[in-house]
């Protein structure tokens, strides 16, 4: 029997990033594998990009505020499929970038994100030198529809998240803690 994800481009079980990992293993003494970067990132949140549905002050700026002062590698994602057979969410990478994530991601949203499309962002803090390296390797390995320059990669980059990572994300508590919106009374 074919599993749902097998019919749809990418198997959600044991996602492989073999070519990418081979390169980092050859070039770095302590490589971070792609699975850790895209599927186990420190930060992973769905960002409320549609102002019509924002509750109180809980817009995307607040969701990004918890990253204030940090720097590193970030990715932007959209839904690719929900594999009901394995209860996973496969995500398609649409952008990779580096720098202060709160500022950069906010400007992507403001300048060119279609507000009807759900947006997910992941982020891994790292030194600028390293985030430059990983950004370039992602661009060399994968095609991102929103990266317009230096993107020679041709494969699609998929991430696979479980329901909790997809639905709740990693920082919902931190976001609610800095929100001035207190519970349902403010709706």
- Residues in contact with Zn ion by CB under 5 A are 3, 5, 12, 83, 85-86
Buried b (16+ CB within 10 A) or exposed e, 40-71: bbbbbbbbbbbeeeeeeebbbbbbbebbeebb
The smaller minimum CB distance to Zn ion, of residues 52 and 164, is found at: 164
Length of the chain: 187
Minimal distance, residue 162 CB to Zn ion, in Å: 11
Query: Shortest approach of Zn ion to residue 8 CB, angstroms?
Result: 9
We find the least distance from the C-beta atom of residue 151 to Zn ion, in angstroms, to be 28
In the complex with Zn ion, which residue's Cβ is closer, 9 or 150?
9
Asked whether the beta carbons of 119 and 50 are under 8 A apart, the reply is no
* Nearest residue (CB) to Zn ion, 3 versus 40: 3
How remote is the C-alpha of 122 from its chain's centroid?
A: 3
Residue number with CB closer to Zn ion (10 or 60): 10
Torsion of CA 140, 82, 170, 94, to 10 degrees: 30
CB of 1 vs Zn ion, minimal distance in Å: 12
User: Three-state DSSP class for 71?
Assistant: coil
Least separation, in Å, of the C-beta of 158 and Zn ion? 11
The rounded distance, in Å, linking the Cα atoms of 135 and 57 is 32
Q: Which is nearer to Zn ion, 10 or 95 (CB)?
A: 10
């Amino acid at each position: 029997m074919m599993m749902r994800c097998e019919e749809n481009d990418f198997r959600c079980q044991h996602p492989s990033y073999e070519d990418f990992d081979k390169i980092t293993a050859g070039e770095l003494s302590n490589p971070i594998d792609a699975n850790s970067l895209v599927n186990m990132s420190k930060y992973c949140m769905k960002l409320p990009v549609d102002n019509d549905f924002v509750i109180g002050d809980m817009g995307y700026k607040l969701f990004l505020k918890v990253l204030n002062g940090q720097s590193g590698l970030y990715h932007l994602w959209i839904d690719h499929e929900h594999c009901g057979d394995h209860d996973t969410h496969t995500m398609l990478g649409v952008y990779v970038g580096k720098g202060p994530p709160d500022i950069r991601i906010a400007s992507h949203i403001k300048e060119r994100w279609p507000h009807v499309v759900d947006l997910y962002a992941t982020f891994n803090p790292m030194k600028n030198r390293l985030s430059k390296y990983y950004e370039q390797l992602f661009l060399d390995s994968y095609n991102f529809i929103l990266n317009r320059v230096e993107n020679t990669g041709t494969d699609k980059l998929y991430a696979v998240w479980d329901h909790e990572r997809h639905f709740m994300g990693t920082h919902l508590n931190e976001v609610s803690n800095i929100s001035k919106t207190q519970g349902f009374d403010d709706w």
